Amino acid sequence: MIEISQKQQKILELFLRNNLLSSSEVHDHLSKEGEETSLVTIKRELSRMATSGLLTASGRGRSRAYSVSVWGRVLSNVDASTYNAAEPDKRYGLANFNFDLLPLFPPEIFTSAELAALEQSTDEYRRQTADLPAAIQKKELERLIIELSWKSSKIEGNTYTLLDTEKLILEHKEAPGHDKKEAKMILNHKEAFEFVHNNKKEFLTLTRANMEQLHGLLIKDMSVSAGLRQKPVGVTGSKYRPLDNIHQIREAVETLAAVISYANTPYAKALLALVGISYVQPFEDGNKRTARIMANALLLAHDCAPLSYRSVEEKDYREATLVFYELNSIVPFKSIFIEQYVFAAKNYAVK
């Protein structure tokens, strides 16, 4: 992955806010922010960033201008909390689906240091899951399913507590005073994860078929249509509007599947599924739930630790998702993914 300096990150932020800038305009913006850099230095830096693929250059001579590329967007280090502090209509992000994003997605999205940390966690996970007695395997699987079903549902607004979820899954007792759909959402998570766990090698990569299969399990008996949606959907609290044409949705799913199949590591495949399914929003409802279970399916298929998301803050998860929707930056979500993977590898012995 391209290593990006602090100065380059500052320049990328300028381009996220402004569609097209000349070297002089970049110099003026940075000067106003107290950055004492010569115009010659700025020109040299912009040229380097264009050569590395972070920027796209257009025009020649005095009319030469730059814009942020897909790589520049994806790898921009955006502060998710600061960005989301503004009202949706006052944010500077994109309001529509970026058709260039998936076809031009970088082949590697983790730095060498991040990959080393993930691999180290995977080695630890594989050591602790080797030769586990069947009784312990069963207990560990139950624990992961309970915690994943609880937190994934909670991210969607489900009000069951962790103890409520444990009682529902282990004792089949619904919590009093709750909508029956909340219990169904949790039990559907359980069924979907068990299906993935029992059919790991069906998920070496994402396909439209296995994605729709997971979605069907997650929305079972919840009054949600199966299959690719044929109507527009909105995203609460975001200016982003997903695709509303089923032919474009189908094509976006196929492109996402191809990008995931080309990804170099199981971690990249899982993270791309997490953000990609959520971004495309191929279904009427249940997109983020499908994304989380699909990410786990890809990890398990490659003998990696599955995620429970137990320790993630819902606010952080939502803000990172909105940054990807509107700015296409994967950096905030990548931080969550790495943190949750390291946590999962240490805390679960599910194989």
Per-residue pLDDT of 101-128, as tens digits, reads 999 999 889 999 999 999 999 999 999 9
Amino acid at 217: L
β-bridge mates for residue 55, sequence order: 68
Binding residues for ATP: 285-292
Residue 351, pLDDT above cutoff 90: no
Positions at the binding site: 285-292
Predicted local distance difference test score (pLDDT) of residue 317: 97
Global pTM value: 0.94
- In CATH terms, the superfamily for domain 112-347 is Fido-like domain (1.10.3290.10)
21 phi, psi to nearest 5 deg: -140, 145
Give, as one character, the DSSP assignment of residue 57.
E
Bridge partners, residue 132, by sequence: none
Residue 18 pLDDT grade (very low, low, confident, very high; cuts 50, 70, 90): very high
> What pLDDT sits at residue 3?
80
Give residue-wise pLDDT tens across range 271-330: 999 999 999 999 999 999 999 999 999 999 999 999 999 999 999 999 999 999 999 999
**CA–CA gap between residue 99 and residue 340 (Å, rounded):** 29
Q: What is the mean pLDDT of the chain?
A: 95
Domain limits, CATH 1.10.10.10, in the chain: 6-68
How far is it, in rounded angstroms, from Cα 187 to Cα 151? Answer: 13
User: What is the structure's pLDDT at 108?
Assistant: 86
d(CA 11, CA 268): 26
CATH of domain 6-68: 1.10.10.10
Q: Are 272 and 221 in contact (CB under 8 A)?
A: no
Token pair, residue 310, equals: 């137990």
- Please, which pLDDT band fits residue 57 given cuts at 50, 70 and 90? very high
Q: How many helices (H) and strands (E) does the chain have?
A: 15, 2
How many percent of the chain have pLDDT more than 70? 100
Question: What is the rounded average pLDDT of the residues 226-250?
Answer: 94
Q: Are 109 and 271 in contact (CB under 8 A)?
A: yes
Tens digits of residue pLDDT in 69-112: 999 999 999 999 999 999 999 999 999 999 999 999 998 899 99
* Identity of residue 283: F
As a whole-number percent, the residues of the chain with pLDDT over 90 amount to 90
- Which segments of the chain belong to CATH 1.10.3290.10? 112-347
Residue by residue, DSSP assigns 151-185 as HHHHHTT----HHHHHHHHHH--PPTTS-HHHHHH
Question: What residue type is 114 in one-letter code?
Answer: E
